[in-house]
Amino acid sequence: MIAYRKKFIRIVECWNGEDIETPGADLKRRFQQTHPLSGTLAREFYTVLVDLTRNSETIFSNMKRGTRYEITRAQARDDLSYGCWDGNETKILEEFSDSAKEFLTQKGQPALDRRWLALLAGAGLLELTHISDRQGAKLVWHAYHRSRQRATLLYSVSFFRHNPSLQFRQMVGRANRYHHWQDMLHFKNAGISTYDFGGWYDGTKDLERLAINKFKEQFGGEVVKNYICEEALTLKGTLFLRLRTRLLGKAI
């Protein structure tokens, strides 16, 4: 759980089935709910889940053939290094945040919320991993929300857009697939049961997001529907939800 103030209200976030007392909060936001909760504003959210309770050979064999090949080639030929840290290592968190800011700017996506990441880190809920090449240059970063049962991908940051080399871009693509596989093994060994790709686009028009769907589906997971449920706890929370719904619909 984390709590923070946004504009005039205090928000508490709960993940993966948590439901705890929240004194002083105006709004409780529950992620990864399996069904809409009574008395809340519920928004459907699709994602791809991989069951890490299965043995490693089964997880790997359920991936698409091409993905298995790319992972095996990356492991055998690309001389890649894997690293992981919890979010409390300030220098690493700053390095990731700077890289993510540049990546998101290039893609025209919303800015990185450093304060939110710092809150996750302070609560022991943030984990950062990366893949680097033989010279030590970072190729891919992944950031996760980590709970007792589930590791949820928050950001995936790759470095290839300014490099015109097709060979380099292909190598980064292999590195990213290898990275997901190493993350799965890392979380599985830590006793976490579910690997969550952090979203799946249920529309038909956004070609870039459809391509991301295809990438995530290569890893043999299951597309599931979860809910983000928001409960107003005070009058301020109620007014906030009404105003935001009027302006943005169910977007958060």
C-alpha 168/C-alpha 133 separation (Å) is 11
Mean residue pLDDT across the chain: 92
Beta carbons of 145 and 151 less than 8 angstroms apart: yes
CATH topology of domain 53-192: Aminopeptidase (3.40.630)
Distance CA 96, CA 106 (A): 15
Under a CB-based contact definition with an 8 Å cutoff, are residues 195 and 53 in contact? no
pTM of the model: 0.93
**pLDDT tops 70 at residue 163:** no
User: What value does the mean pLDDT take over residues 212-233?
Assistant: 97
32: left (phi over 0), alpha (psi -120 to 50) or beta: left
Neighbouring C-beta atoms of residue 145, cutoff 10 Å: 24
Is residue 59 within 8 A of residue 184, CB to CB? The reply is yes
State the average pLDDT over residues 42-65.
97
Closest CA to 222 of 247, 243, 197: 197
Q: Read off the pLDDT of each residue in 190-205 and give the average, rounded to a whole number.
A: 96
Rounded to an integer, the average pLDDT of 31-40 is: 94
Name, in order, each residue with C-beta under 8 angstroms of 157's C-beta and a sequence gap of 6 or more: 96, 99, 100, 103, 140, 141, 142, 143
pLDDT tens figures, 173-189? 999 999 999 999 999 99
6 confidence band (pLDDT: 50, 70, 90): confident
Q: Is the pLDDT of residue 164 over 80?
A: no
- CATH 3.40.630.30 domain residues, the chain: 53-192
And the tokens for 231? 């409960």
List, for residues 93-126, the tens digit of each pLDDT value: 999 999 999 899 888 888 899 999 999 999 999 9
**Where does the pLDDT of residue 84 fall: very low under 50, low under 70, confident under 90, or very high at 90 and above?**
very high
What secondary structure letter does DSSP report for 36?
A: P
β partners of residue 86: 127
Q: What are phi and psi of 146, to 5 degrees?
A: -120, 120
**Amino acid found at 238:** T
Total Cβ atoms within 10 A of residue 187: 23
SS3 29: strand
